[in-house]
Amino acid sequence: MDIVSISDIYYDTVKTNKYIEIKGWVRNRRSSKSGITFIDVYDGSYLHTIQVVAYCSLSNYYEEIIKITVGCSIIISGILIKSIGRKQLYEVNAREIKIIGWIKNPSTYPMSSKKHSLEHLREYSHLRPRTSFIRAISRIRNCLFHTLHQLLDKYGYYWIATPIITGLNSEGGGEMFKVSTLDFSNIPMKNNGKVDFKKDFFGRESFLSVSGQLSLEAYACALSKVYSFGPTFRAENSNTSRHLAEFWMLEVETAFSKLNDLISLSEHILQYSVNVILEQCQVDIEFFKNTLDENIVVRLQEFSNRKFIKIEYKEVIDILKKSSQFSNQKIFLGMDLSSDHEKYIVEKHFRFPTIIINYPRSLKAFYMKLNENGNTVAAMDLLVPTIGEILGGSEREEKLDILDKRFLEFKLNKDSYWWYRDLRKYGTVPHSGFGLGFERFLSYIIGVKNIKDVSPFPRTMNNSNI
- Across the range 325-346, mean pLDDT stands at 95
Residue at 168 is within a domain: yes
Residues 93 and 148 in one domain: no
How many structural domains comprise the chain?
Answer: 2
Any domain includes 183: no
One-letter amino acid identity for 122? Answer: R
Which one of 109, 138, 163 terminates a domain?
109
Is residue 225 domain-shared with residue 306, that is, in the same domain?
Answer: yes
In a domain, residue 186? The reply is no
- The pLDDT value recorded for residue 465 is 74
pTM: 0.95
Range of the structural domain that residue 37 is part of: 2-109
373 and 276 share one domain: yes
Q: What's the average model confidence in pLDDT over 266-275?
A: 98
Same domain as 348, residue 279: yes
Handedness of CA 270, 275, 280, 284 (dihedral sign): positive
Residue type (1 letter), 124:
Y
Query: 383 and 312: one domain?
Result: yes
| pLDDT over 80 at 76, yes or no | yes
Q: Are 56 and 149 contained in the same domain?
A: no
Domain holding 396: CATH number? 3.30.930.10
Domain co-membership, 274 together with 385: yes
Say which CATH number the domain at 68 has: 2.40.50.140
**116, part of any domain:** no
- pLDDT tens for each residue of 181-217: 999 999 999 999 899 999 999 999 999 999 999 999 9
Is 137 found in the same domain as 30? no
Is the residue at 187 inside a domain?
A: no
Instruction: Answer yes or no: do 304 and 352 share one domain.
Output: yes
Q: How far apart are CA 213 and CA 172, in angstroms?
A: 12
pLDDT tens by residue, 13-37: 888 999 999 999 999 999 999 999 9
User: Are 280 and 328 in a shared domain?
Assistant: yes
How far apart CA 244 and CA 459 sit, in angstroms, is: 6
DSSP 128-156: GGGSHHHHHHHHHHHHHHHHHHHHHHHTT
Indicate whether 83 and 215 sit together in one domain: no
Q: Is residue 219 part of a domain?
A: yes
